[in-house]
C-alpha cells in the first residue's frame, strides 16, 4: 500500500477516534449533569473539551454546563470563566448571561454584573428571571451605601476548629461551652455533586487552654449516616431534643432532597432513632431550622411550591400545637423572602431576627441580614463588612449579647466553609490612648536631626516596662498607654549621650465614657525628645577643687569625679579627654604644667574606679583657653567688687570632659546591657 495512503488512513482513524471520544465524554457529562452528579459532569465535560471533535455549539454547551455544574454545587466563583467562554461561543441557552451576572457579582465585578443583568433584561424571555435581573440591578446600585456604612464588628477565624474541609452552621449549648456544627471531614465516600465527603454533625467542647482550643467529636451513628448528609443541628434549651437536616446522598436512588429530622436524648445518654418531621414536603428541599426564643415556633427554609412562595428558598414558620406537633406552616413573606434564596433563619434572646439571602442587596452571593422593627414596619438591613464579603456568608448565631459566630467560604480561611467569631463593638466602648513620639539628635548650633534607630523603653509608675521600641521613619515611635499615669521614657542611641530619662504624664487625659463612640476610640498625644550628639560634646564639671599649688584629689573633688565614673559607665561607647584649666593669672608654663598634673590626677582617679585607660586621656590647658577673657574681668574693680572679681576667675578654673570618639564595637553592648537593665 502506498505510504501516503496508509498515513492518510491512520490520521483519519485517529481523528475519528478522538472525535468519537470527545462526543462520548460530552454525552456522559450530560448524563451525570441530569443526575445531579455535578462534579462528575464537570470532569467529563472538561475531558470532552480537551479532545478534538466537538462542534462549536457543543463546545459552547460544554462550557455552559461546566459553569452550571459549579453554580449548582455552590461554587459559582469558579463558574465565571466558563460562562464567559460559552457566551463567546454563542451558547444557545439564554440564561447564560443571567447567571454570568451572578458569577461576576460573586467575584466583585459589579459593573460587569450590571451589564450582564441588563443584557438579560433586554433579551431574556423568562419573566421571573427578568424580574430577578431587575432586582439585582437595583440591589447593586445601593451597594455603595452599604459599603460606606460604619460597622463595629471584629471578625476572627476559629482556627482551632476549622480545617481544610468545610465547617459550618454552629449552635451553642451549655452557656457557650459546647458548640455543635456541621463538617465534611475526610471520608471514604464522596458526594458526586460536589466531589466532597458527606457532611456529619460534630460536638466541640471548649477547654479554655487558649482561645478557641477544645476537643471535637463526631456524634453517634444514630445521627450520622455513611451515605447521606447530616447538617444544621439545633437544640431545645435543655439540650434533650435535636432537629437537624438529612438527605441528598447524590445517587439516582434514595433521598434526592433534604428533609428535617427530630431526635431525643435518652436517659443513657444516647440519641433516639431520628424521625422525619411531618412538616417536610416530599418534593422539596427543607433545611436550616431554627427555634424562636420561646421555643414555640420553628423556622426553616424550603423551596416548596406554596401559594405565598416568592421563589428560590423561602423562610417558613411552623407553630407547635396542643399535641406538641409542628403545624400551621406559613411563609413569613415580605420583606424577608425574595425571588432569590432566603435561608438560615435565627432569632436571638432579644427577639431580633437574622437570616442569609441572595435576594437582598448583597456583596456576592449569600449575605447576612438583620430585620429591624419600628412599630409594625419591618426593614431588612445588610449587616455590612467585615461580616459580609463577596463570598457566601451565612448561618449566624450568638454566644452572648456581644459575641456571635457565622460561616463563610471567603478567601484567607482554613479551607472551604469556615466558622468565624465576631465581636459586636457597638455594644462596647473602648478608649485607646496612644503616645506618638518623635526623637531628634541635637547637633552643634542646636540643629535638630531626626533620629532613626534609637531605642525607647517606657516604664510605668510601678516600674513595669510597658514597651520597648525602635524609632524609624524620621525618629518616630508609637504605642498605647493607660490614662492617669506618669511614665518614664528611657532612650538610647550609639551616637548620642545617655542622659536623664524623660517624664511623660497622662494625668487628666482619661475621656469620659459618655463621650466615647461605639467600638474603638483612639486618642493621640504627642511627645518629643532631643538627645545630645555624643561626638564633640563637652561636659563641664564644676566644684573640683585642689589645694593651692597642688594636684592631689581632695575628698570633695572625689565625690564629683565619681559622678563622671557613672557617666562613663552609662556611655560605654565613648572616649573622652579630661581637660583641666586654670585662671589667667600666673605664668603660662607654670599654669600649663600644674593643670596637666591636676588633669592626670583626675584621670588616674577615674581609671582606679574601673574605667579602661584607653577611654580617657588627660590634657592640661593652663590658661590657654579661658571662658572669660581678662579684658572682661578687668572691667570689674578688684578692690570694691572683690567677690565678683574672684567668681569670674573661678569660672576659668574648670574641668571639662570632651567626647573625642565613638567605639562602634560597643554599640551592641550599649543596647544589650545598659538599655535592657
**C-alpha grid cell for residue 664?**
562602634
Instruction: Provide the pLDDT for residue 551.
Output: 72
Check the CA dihedral 218-220-225-231 and report its sign. Answer: negative
Q: Is residue 666 scored above 70 in pLDDT?
A: no
What pLDDT is attached to residue 37?
87
pLDDT > 70: what percent of the chain? Answer: 91
Q: What is the DSSP letter of 482?
A: -
Query: Between β-strands 502-505 and 486-492, what pairing exists: parallel, antiparallel or unpaired?
Result: antiparallel
Dist. CA 311–CA 29, nearest whole Å: 28
Radius of gyration of the chain (CA): 41
Separation CA 414–CA 456 (nearest Å): 38
Q: How many CB atoms lie within 10 A of CB 329?
A: 17
pLDDT confidence of residue 583: 84
What values do phi and psi take at 34, rounded to 5? Answer: -65, -25
Q: pLDDT at position 175, please?
A: 77
256 pLDDT band (50/70/90 cuts)?
Answer: low
- Could you report the per-residue pLDDT of 493-527, keeping only the tens digit for each? 988 888 889 999 999 999 998 899 888 899 999 99
Query: Is residue 148 over pLDDT 70?
Result: yes
Q: How confident is the model at residue 217 (pLDDT cuts 50, 70, 90)?
A: very high
Confidence of residue 243 (pLDDT cuts 50, 70, 90): very high
Q: Does the pLDDT of residue 9 top 50, yes or no?
A: no
Cα separation, 266 vs 240, in Å, equals: 8
What was the pLDDT predicted at 667? 52
State the pLDDT at residue 254: 44
Helices within 200-248 (DSSP H only): none
CA 302, 308, 314: angle at the middle one, nearest 5? 25
Q: Compare 539 and 615 and report the one with higher pLDDT.
A: 615
112-149 burial code (b ≥16 CB/10 A, e <16)? bbbebbbbbbeebeeeebbebbebbbebbeebeebeee
Position 452 scores a pLDDT of: 94
Q: Count the neighbouring beta carbons within 10 Å of the beta carbon of residue 275.
A: 10
CA distances from 315 to 132, 320, 331, 350, 388 (A): 18, 17, 6, 20, 20
Laid out side by side, the sheet with 286-291 consists of 286-291, 297-302, 314-320, 326-331
Kindly indicate the confidence band of residue 475, based on its pLDDT and cuts at 50, 70 and 90.
very high
**Nine cell digits for residue 398:** 450568638
Average pLDDT over residues 249-275: 80
d(CA 407, CA 413): 11
With H, G, I as helix, E, B as strand and everything else as coil, classify residue 408. strand
Query: pLDDT category, 16, cuts 50, 70, 90?
Result: very low
pLDDT of residue 659 exceeding 80, the answer is: yes
Q: What is the mean pLDDT of residues 118-133?
A: 91
Q: Dihedral sign, CA of 593, 598, 603, 604? A: positive
Q: Which domains does the chain have, with CATH numbers?
A: 3-148 (1.25.40.10), 153-427 (2.120.10.30), 429-532 (2.60.40.10), 538-675 (3.30.1330.60)
Residue 13 confidence class, pLDDT cut points 50, 70, 90? very low
The pLDDT value given to residue 669: 54
Flag whether pLDDT at 652 surpasses 60. yes
pLDDT band at 248 (very low <50, low <70, confident <90, very high): low
Tell me if 100 sits within 8 A of 87, measured CB to CB.
yes
What are 43-89's pLDDT values in tens digits?
999 999 888 888 898 898 999 999 999 998 888 889 999 999 999 99
Q: 50: helix, coil or strand?
A: helix
pLDDT of residue 186: 67
Alpha-carbon torsion, ordered 115, 118, 123, 128, to 10 deg? 130
Let me know: does 349 contact 398? Beta carbons within 8 Å.
Answer: yes
Average pLDDT of the chain is: 87
pLDDT, position 640? 79
Q: Is 675 helix (H, G, I), strand (E, B) or coil?
A: helix
Rounded Cα distance, 362 and 368, in Å: 8
Q: Which three cell numbers mark 518?
A: 461605639
How far is the C-alpha of 288 from the C-alpha of 406, rounded, in Å? 13
**In the prediction, which pLDDT does 5 show?**
44
Q: Predicted confidence band at 423 (pLDDT cuts at 50, 70, 90)?
A: very high
On the question of pLDDT at 337 being above 90, the answer is yes
**In contact, 420 and 157? CB cutoff 8 Å:** yes
pLDDT for residue 97 is more than 60: yes
How far from 3 is each of 6, 9, 624, CA to CA, in Å? 5, 10, 113
pLDDT-based confidence at 12, cuts 50/70/90? very low
pLDDT at residue 253, rounded to an integer: 46
Q: Are residues 47 and 71 in contact, defined by beta-carbon separation less than 8 angstroms?
A: no
Q: What's the rounded mean pLDDT across residues 248-256?
A: 52
Name the percent of the chain lying above pLDDT 90.
52
Amino acid at each position: 500500500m502506498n505510504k501516503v495512503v496508509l498515513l492518510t488512513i491512520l490520521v483519519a482513524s485517529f481523528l475519528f477516534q478522538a472525535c468519537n471520544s470527545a462526543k462520548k465524554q460530552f454525552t456522559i457529562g450530560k448524563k451525570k449533569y441530569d443526575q445531579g452528579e455535578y462534579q462528575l459532569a464537570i470532569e467529563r465535560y472538561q475531558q470532552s473539551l480537551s479532545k478534538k471533535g466537538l462542534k462549536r455549539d457543543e463546545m459552547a454547551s460544554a462550557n455552559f454546563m461546566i459553569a452550571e455544574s459549579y453554580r449548582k454545587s455552590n461554587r459559582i466563583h469558579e463558574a465565571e470563566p466558563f460562562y464567559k467562554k460559552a457566551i463567546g461561543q454563542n451558547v444557545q441557552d439564554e440564561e447564560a448571561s443571567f447567571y454570568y451576572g451572578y458569577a461576576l457579582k460573586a467575584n466583585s465585578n459589579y459593573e460587569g454584573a450590571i451589564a450582564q443583568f441588563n443584557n438579560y433584561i433586554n433579551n431574556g424571555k423568562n419573566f421571573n428571571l427578568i424580574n430577578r435581573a431587575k432586582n439585582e440591578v437595583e440591589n447593586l446600585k445601593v451597594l455603595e451605601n452599604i459599603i460606606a456604612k460604619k460597622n463595629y464588628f471584629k471578625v476572627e477565624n476559629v482556627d482551632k476548629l476549622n480545617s481544610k474541609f468545610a465547617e459550618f452552621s454552629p449552635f451553642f449549648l451549655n452557656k457557650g461551652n459546647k458548640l455543635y456544627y456541621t463538617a465534611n471531614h475526610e471520608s471514604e465516600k464522596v458526594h458526586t455533586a460536589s466531589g466532597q465527603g458527606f457532611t456529619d454533625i460534630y460536638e466541640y467542647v471548649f477547654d479554655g487552654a487558649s482561645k478557641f482550643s477544645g476537643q471535637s467529636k463526631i456524634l453517634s451513628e444514630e445521627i450520622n449516616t455513611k451515605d447521606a448528609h447530616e447538617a444544621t443541628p439545633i437544640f431545645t434549651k435543655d439540650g434533650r431534643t435535636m432537629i437537624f437536616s438529612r438527605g441528598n446522598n447524590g445517587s439516582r436512588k434514595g433521598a434526592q432532597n433534604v428533609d428535617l429530622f427530630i431526635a431525643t436524648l435518652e436517659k443513657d445518654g444516647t440519641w433516639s432513632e431520628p424521625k422525619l418531621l411531618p412538616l417536610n414536603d416530599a418534593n422539596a428541599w427543607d433545611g436550616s431550622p431554627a427555634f424562636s426564643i420561646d421555643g414555640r415556633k420553628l423556622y426553616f427554609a424550603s423551596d416548596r411550591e406554596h401559594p405565598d412562595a416568592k421563589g428560590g428558598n423561602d423562610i417558613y414558620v411552623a407553630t407547635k400545637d396542643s399535641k406538641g406537633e409542628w403545624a400551621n406552616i406559613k411563609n413569613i413573606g415580605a420583606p424577608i423572602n425574595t425571588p432569590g434564596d432566603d435561608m438560615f433563619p435565627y432569632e436571638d434572646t432579644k427577639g431580633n431576627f437574622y437570616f442569609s439571602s441572595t435576594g437582598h442587596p448583597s456583596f456576592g452571593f449569600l449575605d447576612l441580614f438583620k430585620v429591624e422593627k419600628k412599630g409594625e414596619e419591618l426593614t431588612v438591613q445588610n449587616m455590612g463588612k467585615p461580616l459580609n464579603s463577596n463570598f457566601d456568608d451565612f448561618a449566624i448565631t450568638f454566644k452572648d449579647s456581644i459575641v456571635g459566630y457565622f460561616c463563610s467560604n471567603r478567601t484567607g480561611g482554613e479551607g472551604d466553609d469556615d466558622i468565624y467569631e465576631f465581636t459586636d463593638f457597638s455594644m462596647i466602648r473602648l478608649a485607646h490612648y496612644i503616645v506618638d513620639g518623635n526623637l531628634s539628635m541635637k547637633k552643634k548650633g542646636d540643629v535638630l536631626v531626626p533620629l532613626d534607630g534609637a531605642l525607647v523603653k517606657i516604664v510605668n509608675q510601678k516600674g513595669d516596662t510597658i514597651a520597648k521600641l525602635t524609632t524609624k521613619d524620621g525618629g518616630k515611635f508609637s504605642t498605647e498607654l493607660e490614662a492617669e499615669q506618669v511614665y518614664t521614657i528611657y532612650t538610647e542611641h550609639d551616637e548620642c549621650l545617655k542622659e536623664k530619662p524623660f517624664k511623660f504624664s497622662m494625668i487628666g487625659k482619661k475621656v469620659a465614657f459618655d463621650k466615647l463612640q461605639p467600638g474603638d476610640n483612639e486618642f493621640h498625644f504627642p511627645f518629643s525628645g532631643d538627645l545630645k550628639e555624643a561626638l564633640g560634646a563637652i561636659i563641664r564639671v564644676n566644684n573640683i577643687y585642689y589645694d593651692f599649688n597642688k594636684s592631689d584629689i581632695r575628698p570633695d573633688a572625689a565625690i564629683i569625679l565619681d559622678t563622671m565614673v557613672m557617666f562613663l559607665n552609662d556611655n560605654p561607647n565613648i572616649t573622652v579627654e579630661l581637660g583641666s584649666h586654670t585662671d589667667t593669672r600666673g605664668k603660662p608654663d607654670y599654669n600649663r604644667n600644674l593643670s596637666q598634673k591636676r588633669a592626670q590626677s583626675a584621670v588616674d582617679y577615674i581609671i582606679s574606679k574601673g574605667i579602661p585607660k584607653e577611654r580617657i586621656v588627660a590634657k592640661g590647658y593652663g590658661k590657654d583657653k579661658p571662658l572669660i577673657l581678662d579684658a572682661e574681668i578687668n572691667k570689674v574693680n578688684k578692690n570694691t567688687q572683690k567677690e565678683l572679681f574672684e567668681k569670674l576667675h573661678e569660672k576659668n578654673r574648670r574641668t571639662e570632659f570632651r567626647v573625642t570618639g565613638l567605639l562602634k564595637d560597643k554599640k551592641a553592648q550599649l543596647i544589650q546591657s545598659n538599655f535592657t537593665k
